[in-house]
Amino acid sequence: MTETLRVVVAGGGELGSRTARLLADRGHTVVVVESDPDRAETVSDEYVASIIVGDASRPSILRQANPANSDVLAALTDDEATNFAICTAAQRMADIRTVMRTTRAPDDLYPEYVDGTVFPDGLGARSAVNEIVESGVRTLEDVSGDLEIVEIEIAPDAPVAGRRLDEIRLPRGSLIVSDADGSRIGGPDTVLRAGGRYVVAVESDVADEVLNLMRG
Amino acid sequence: MSYSGDRSPAASLGLLDATMVGIGAMIGAGIFVLTGLAVETAGAAAILAFALNGGVTTFTALSYGELASAIPRNGGGYAYVREAFSAPVAFVMGWTRWFTYIVAGALYALGFAANFVEFIEIYGVHLPGPPVAYALASVVVLVALNAVSTEASGGAETVVTLVKLAILGVFIAFGLTAAGVGEFDPFFPSGGAVSLLPAMGLTFIAFQGYDLIATVTEEVENPRKNIPRAILLSVLVTVVVYLLVVFVAIGTLGVPGLAGAGETAIAQAAEGFMPTFPVIGTGAALIAFGAVFSTISALNAVVIGSSRVAFAMGRERQLPAQLGRLHARFGTPFVAVLASAAVMLLAVVVVPIRTVGNLASLFSLLGFVVVNLAVIRIRRQQPNLERPFEIPYYPLPPILGIVCNLLLGLFIDPITWLLALGWLALGGGVYLLLRGREREPTPTEPEIAEPDVTIPPETD
């Protein structure tokens, strides 16, 4: 069952404001702390979060976001040291989960101090690889240890090309999530069109097998 | 990239639609149902009661404007109070908002029944059974509809409200030619000017509909600007319409006539001066139709409103979690609708209409006191909060709002206060019960500052 979270997002830049929007779309309550007045107004115009205008690394500002009454604090400014300071300050003020954005590969010791790290450049690298290697297979998401969400383009001579989903047998541990134009969830009547791109969830031990069926 | 951050097309209400949501809730039923009762209490000065209520409610409307522009959350007053105060205070706010909607529902159901019987009577048909039966039936039908299907869009609400405004416009246009100023003498009843205050308390419920705008904020276009505008505009339009209608009603039917007519006063006033229309029949039939139409649409709005408050509280674990669940098959907050309906039906059967009106007003007054306190508290706790709309002449309006709302509340009769306290006590019991159950699995949480004596919680 869904539970509504109250989340403080420090930093209303591109990452912070997008995070706020996604959270609000899922029904969570968001407070954004942003020091640049113009930026704050832009975020305010979106009407997805309350905005505190000020520098979140100043305790008097951070306190206004009311960490004591919140479930999670995400420090997402573009400065790693600032984010770390915000997280530790928030933990002093309240018993709160903290998530920080790192600008370099996350330090091994962070888990001792914060509950989660976000490394946008790491995610960026994955997108870069997807764009660079146009092999017809794109990683969308690493879900957990053994599961990956990938987008696969059906090769013209692949074994499953042109077949309906109920005519073929995909290996256990794989699932067609959406059909070619990404508008429908895959079902028995989904046709695997050659040249179409499909979102597929795969467990790593059958990834090879799935690629073989879909790429040939 | 095609998956850029465009917000989903939820924002569908323009300034007109948002304003109509507020006007629709305020002009819904209060004017039809309460005018007679107010005149019975305050005589011709009832018109002054409506005017002053308009002034009092404006203070709170300003507070709503500031909060709604700064805190983008559906849920209205409950959501803002949740932001400003601790969980118990928010619980009281939600609990009383819930009850306000429920009691308003009972009021509208009773008003609907009285006007419906009246409306059918115009065509020479005498309906069997007491009006209460029709009130109960209307609640049951609307609850059934809302339990199995999701609400209609805001566009329909705009049309419904425009129809109501048009009918009242006809009433005012004909009435102004027939109204006589002589009916306003004596202006104050034998009880003197003090009898104004109970009349204000009684009719205050009619001035709280803008709260509904604040419960749908996330659907409004350009919300930072449009919500405060819609709130203030809807109050302004409503007050003007009320004053005109009450002026016409008193000026035509006179004080004794209105006082005797109770909840069908406006329809009876119309009978005196309205010409006969083709198809519809007499002008009184048109007004009676307007009353039936308004009360039923207002009833529908509060059935939705009450269930959404219960739903929100269930989701935040302030009421049993079952209330915060959607029904798997219907996709509606089924349990919340049924729970609200059960209390509403009870209120229809046991509580007399005047007490129902008083109860709804009292809770709405108390709720508004808390909202005004929330504005002041948030200003102090969050001075750096971005406030696209700021209350002019702060802190005067919220302070005046608190004082006036409290004053009006004090003039509501003791029986209503007793009922209100009873409901609050019941709420307190529910709250403690829920808290107790929630705390059981986490007994390690240090709660009270009693340094040396730590008694481990009993296990059962």
Residue A84's pLDDT is what?
A: 95
> Which among B223, B384, B388 has CB closest to A54?
B384
- Confidence band, pLDDT 50/70/90 cuts, at residue B204: confident
Say how many C-beta atoms besides its own lie within 10 A of residue B82's C-beta. Answer: 26
Report yes or no: B53 and B203 within 8 Å, Cβ to Cβ. yes
Q: Tell the residue number behind the tokens 């400014």, with chain if given.
A: A77
Arithmetic mean of pLDDT, A65-80? 93
Chain-centroid distance of CA A27 in Å reads 17
Residue A55 has pLDDT above 90, yes or no: yes
CB contact under 8 A, A64 and B381: yes
CA distance A54 to chain B (A): 7
Higher per-residue confidence, B234 vs B181? B234
Residue B9 has pLDDT above 60, yes or no: no
ipTM: 0.74
Burial class from Cβ neighbours inside 10 Å (0-12, 13-18, 19+) for residue B26 reads buried
> pLDDT digits over B413-427, tens only?
888 899 889 988 998
Percent of chain B predicted with pLDDT > 70: 87
Residue B391's pLDDT is what?
A: 93
Residue B6 has pLDDT above 80, yes or no: no
DSSP string, chain A: -----EEEEE--SHHHHHHHHHHHHTT-EEEEEES-HHHHHHHHHHTSSEEEES-TTSHHHHHHT-GGG-SEEEE-SS-HHHHHHHHHHHHHHSS-EEEEE-SSSPPTTGGGT-SEEE-HHHHHHHHHHHHH--SSEEEEEEEETTEEEEEEEPPTT-TTTTEEGGGS-PPTTEEEEE-TTSSSB--TT-EE-TT-EEEEEEEHHHHHHHHHHHH-
Residue B200 has pLDDT above 90, yes or no: no
Helix, strand, coil % in chain B, rounded to nearest 5: 75, 0, 25
Residues forming a β-bridge with B220 = B13
Higher per-residue confidence, A130 vs B175? B175
Please enumerate, as own/partner, the contacts of A139-146 that have beta carbons within 8 Å and a separation of 24 or more: A140/A199, A143/A201, A146/A203, A146/A204, A146/A205
Mean pLDDT over each residue of chain B, to the nearest integer: 80
CB contact under 8 A, B385 and A50: yes
- Confidence band, pLDDT 50/70/90 cuts, at residue B5: very low
Longest dimension (CA), chain B: 84
Say how many C-beta atoms besides its own lie within 10 A of residue A197's C-beta. Answer: 18
CB contact under 8 A, B72 and A50: yes
Residue B358's pLDDT is what?
A: 81
Arithmetic mean of pLDDT, B84-107? 85
Q: Is B83's Cβ below 8 Å from some Cβ in A? A: yes
Residue B184 has pLDDT above 50, yes or no: yes
Residue B180's pLDDT is what?
A: 78
> pLDDT digits over B430-444, tens only?
888 887 766 554 444
Q: Is A53's Cβ below 8 Å from some Cβ in B? A: yes
- Confidence band, pLDDT 50/70/90 cuts, at residue B243: very high
Residue A54 has pLDDT above 90, yes or no: yes
Higher per-residue confidence, B23 vs A144? B23
Higher per-residue confidence, B241 vs A140? B241
CA torsion angle A40 A45 A48 A50 (round to 10): 40
Q: Is A51's Cβ below 8 Å from some Cβ in B? A: yes
CB contact under 8 A, A4 and B316: yes
List CB contacts (< 8 A) between B218 and chain A: 47
Q: Is B52's Cβ below 8 Å from some Cβ in A? A: no
Arithmetic mean of pLDDT, B55-62? 92
Q: How many A×B Cβ pairs under 8 Å?
A: 56
Residue B141's pLDDT is what?
A: 81
> pLDDT digits over A93-146, tens only?
999 999 999 988 888 888 889 999 998 887 887 778 778 876 677 777 665 556
Arithmetic mean of pLDDT, B137-160? 70
Residue B218's pLDDT is what?
A: 67
Residue B62's pLDDT is what?
A: 93
Residue B279's pLDDT is what?
A: 64
Residue A22 has pLDDT above 80, yes or no: yes
Arithmetic mean of pLDDT, B115-131? 79
Residue A145's pLDDT is what?
A: 58
- Confidence band, pLDDT 50/70/90 cuts, at residue B280: low
Return the closest-CA partner of residue B370 out of B120, B37, B79, B163: B79
Residue B160's pLDDT is what?
A: 79
Percent of chain B predicted with pLDDT > 90: 15
What 8-state DSSP symbol labels residue B276? E
Write phi, then psi, for B123 (nearest 5 degrees).
-90, 15
CA distance B327 to chain A (A): 12
Residue A144's pLDDT is what?
A: 53
- Confidence band, pLDDT 50/70/90 cuts, at residue A59: very high
Q: How far apart are CA A180 and CA A178, in angstroms?
A: 7
Residue B429 has pLDDT above 50, yes or no: yes
Percent of chain A predicted with pLDDT > 70: 93
Q: Tell the residue number behind the tokens 């979106």, with chain if given.
A: A46
Arithmetic mean of pLDDT, B363-377? 91
Residue B378's pLDDT is what?
A: 94
Residue B28's pLDDT is what?
A: 67
Residue B447 has pLDDT above 50, yes or no: no
Q: How far apart are the first and last CA of chain A?
A: 42
Arithmetic mean of pLDDT, B329-351? 81
Out of A155-164, B79-88, B257-266, pick the least confident: B257-266
CA distance A214 to chain B (A): 24
Residue A24 has pLDDT above 90, yes or no: no
DSSP string, B358-378: HHHHHHHHHHHHHHHHHHHHH
Q: Which of the listed ranges A132-141, B39-48, B349-358 does the model predict with the highest average pLDDT?
A: B39-48
